[in-house]
Amino acid sequence: MPARHEEIADELRRAIDREEYTVGSRLPAETELAAHYGVSRGTVRQAVAALTAEGLIGSRQGARRVVLASRRSQSFAELRSFAQWAHAMGREATGHVVAQEYLPATAQDSARLQLREGTPVLHVLRVRGLDGEPVLLERTVYADWIAPAVESIDADAPSVTQLLYESTGLVFAYGEHVIDAVAAGAQDAELLGIRRTSPLLRVRRVTTTREGRPVEWSDDRYRSDAVSFSVHNSIDNNALARKTAE
Amino acid sequence: MPARHEEIADELRRAIDREEYTVGSRLPAETELAAHYGVSRGTVRQAVAALTAEGLIGSRQGARRVVLASRRSQSFAELRSFAQWAHAMGREATGHVVAQEYLPATAQDSARLQLREGTPVLHVLRVRGLDGEPVLLERTVYADWIAPAVESIDADAPSVTQLLYESTGLVFAYGEHVIDAVAAGAQDAELLGIRRTSPLLRVRRVTTTREGRPVEWSDDRYRSDAVSFSVHNSIDNNALARKTAE
DNA sequence: GAGGCCAACTTGTTCAGACAAGTTCCGAGT
DNA sequence: ACTCGGAACTTGTCTGAACAAGTTGGCCTC
């Protein structure tokens, strides 16, 4: 069973969803919520802290908390897994491995995956689609210790994340995403069925396990007419950062 | 003076920065830190919770906390303010208003800024540069109640955020950012000094005050060869979400 | 040497209380 | 009618304590 503060956070999220608390309205005071749920004020604070981090509600000392938005953010799992994301939207995810090969780790690979240079790492080029329409080109490099499990996956499997979890118990826990825009190259254009030089949204990411061990890094290119990304930030929670090109 | 837990969070951040705790190494236990700083365990937990949210450290029940990364995240102020961001990098920010006019709020404007349709809102087209080089085109729409203060700002002022704070005490507190890629149009290309159809990183955002009142919304287009965005996510903290085009 | 089990350690959850600091709103006084 | 001050309210900070739940490493056995 989940922790009490998570249950309360969920109940509040649902209450906001069903507009019991409308956008702009004020949430009950901590002490009221504590009494209502029969818990201490600290537990309520943990619950509302979660909603604050998600950007659902705003908080200022002295004033009642305000509902800022509703229907926020998918789970991390949905962000990580293309297939789970598609499923949550009622769309069908497809996937197809175009090329796959082992290469010795470059200096860049070894830095990102925390491996010794020269260790063989698995490069995979995968096309992903929604309802048959290709929308994403994934160029992924897997660390040597997970590569065998990746290799054994069917070339047309829709969900790699799912299969890796089933076969090895691997759970992705952290991710760093660097986002920019690039023009589609010849290969990009061909595989995504778009014109060359079309703008693509590029997401370069490194994913690690719960222990902080890097699993993979990837260069993902999205058709910008099909997919966009959304980030919610506040003074207390700024996951987003602007960077200059090196 | 800042809260004790913030001081401790800062000290830990600096310690990680100067590699006293290296990436992959383990942080001292909560009880040790509590004893070291002479505070209770709860206060230490508040401090490390902040670093966890920033993605600096990873946390699993039962195991010592692990340092995941270093040199993370600017402040929210730096993200919001182009000038502050540039300054933090030791670069000089420039700004120039190309066009500015009042227009009645469209349905879209009124929804995003929570105003009545037809209320006059201020449209501003601004070019921003780093060390003289144009890198960003900002098309911003300001709510009527802040527009007069914006209008009185010099056309070449480097920092609008700064001046708005000084003249009205306005502080930006929350922001929703939607990121995608677009091809440069004729006006974009001309003002940024790039070729037409070059890929641009587009960030559409709405910014609100601490009270949750929308102040402005903006369509920002970055030269993708000059600027990128970075988001750090985890199972506990996912500010990032993928979206399909409507 | 391999495997399994347990004890020590560490983080997660929750409580109850106290005070600090900021906001809101009403009422008194001008 | 307007402003100002203060009381009541609300969130922020911090303490100290207890138990739950997960991890780690070493010891013992086979």
Choose among B58, B67, B182: nearest Cβ to A199: B182
> What is the pLDDT, as a whole number, of residue B1?
65
Which pLDDT does position B123 carry in this prediction? 96
CA A134 – CA A184 distance, rounded (Å): 14
CATH 3.40.1410.10 range(s) for chain A read 76-223
Q: Does the beta-carbon distance from A245 to B225 stay under 8 Å?
A: yes
On chain B, the residues whose CB falls within 8 A of the CB of A174 are 55, 58, 68, 232-235
CA A116 to chain centre: 27
Of A74, A201, A212, the CB nearest to B180: A201
B168–chain A Cβ distance below 8 A for any pair: no
CATH architecture of B76-223: 3-Layer(aba) Sandwich (3.40)
Q: Are A9 and A65 in contact (CB under 8 A)?
A: no
* Residue B174 C-beta-side C-alpha neighbours within 13 Å: 23
Q: Return the exposure string of A159-169: e unless at least 16 CB atoms fall within 10 Å of the residue's CB, then b.
A: bbbebbeeeee
Give the amino acid at A187: Q
**What's the pLDDT at A218?**
95
Do residues B234 and B58 lie in contact, with contact meaning Cβ atoms separated by under 8 Å? yes
CATH 1.10.10.10 maps onto chain B at 4-67
Q: How far is the CA of B40 from the C1' of D18 (A)?
A: 15
pLDDT digits (tens, 9 = 90+) for B2-31: 789 999 999 999 998 888 888 888 899 999
Task: Tell me how far apart the alpha carbons of residues A130 and A128 are, in angstroms, rounded to a whole number.
Answer: 7
Verify whether the Cβ–Cβ distance A237 to B237 is below 8 Å: yes
Could you report the per-residue pLDDT of A147-165, keeping only the tens digit for each?
Answer: 888 888 888 888 888 888 8
Place B74 in a pLDDT band, splitting at 50, 70 and 90.
low
Q: How confident is the model at residue A95 (pLDDT cuts 50, 70, 90)?
A: very high
CATH, range B4-67: 1.10.10.10
pLDDT category of residue A46 using cuts at 50, 70 and 90: very high
Q: CB A231 to CB B228 under 8 A? A: no
